[in-house]
Amino acid sequence: LLGEMAVTFCVTFTFVNSVGSVSIVRGRSMLPTLEGGEAPFGADLVLVSSLAKRKCHPGDIVVCRSPISPSVYLVKRLIAEPEDVVQNIANGELVAIPPGHCWIEGDNVFESGDSTQFGPVPQGLLVGKVYAVLWPPSRLQWLTHQPVADVPHSFRVPKRNH
């Protein structure tokens, strides 16, 4: 029995870290795109692909570990990539995103603990890309890439071509 449990744990751990998982959205930070609430019936349950974490682009919804509290997982929108510049919507400051980092925000930016408060996030904390809402059935849908300009976020300064 102990051997079977160990094998089950190893297979599950490998699957979640290599392929994907399901995550519950908590809080109001991603309204109106995703609804957080009390699990299991009042919150969106989303499909997260771990395989796609290296292929995320601004506008994608991602899951990452909190840089402040690594045991907490955040569901946010990727706003900017390494070497981009953003104007922080919270304070108006220009922030250059360093190599190996990204800028994340909730769609409900004024009710979100995100990069507007803690700054750029190491890309190593990204867990995966959110592809679909699986629950509740009334919200079952694939999530399409939403350009950052369609929701109020920090302004991503266009790159200059030299």
- Is residue 76 annotated as part of the catalytic site, yes or no? yes
Selecting among 23, 29, 50, 115, the annotated active-site residue is: 29
Q: What is the reported pLDDT for 53?
A: 63
- Is residue 129 annotated as part of the catalytic site, yes or no? no
Model confidence pLDDT, tens digit, residues 10-46? 444 444 455 567 788 888 888 888 888 765 567 888 8
Q: What is the pTM of this model?
A: 0.80
Selecting among 23, 49, 50, 76, the annotated active-site residue is: 76
Q: pLDDT: is 51 or 134 the higher one?
A: 134
SS (H, E, C) the chain: CHHHHHHHHHHHHHHHHHCEEEEECCCCCCCCCCCCCCCCCCCCEEEEECHHHHHCCCCCEEEEECCCCCCCEEEEEEEECCCCEEECCCCCCEEECCCCEEEEECCCHHHCCCHHHHCCEEHHHEEEEEEEEEECHHHCEECCCCCHHHCCCCEEECCCCC
Model confidence pLDDT, tens digit, residues 103-161? 999 988 778 899 999 999 999 999 999 988 988 888 888 887 776 566 667 777 766 55
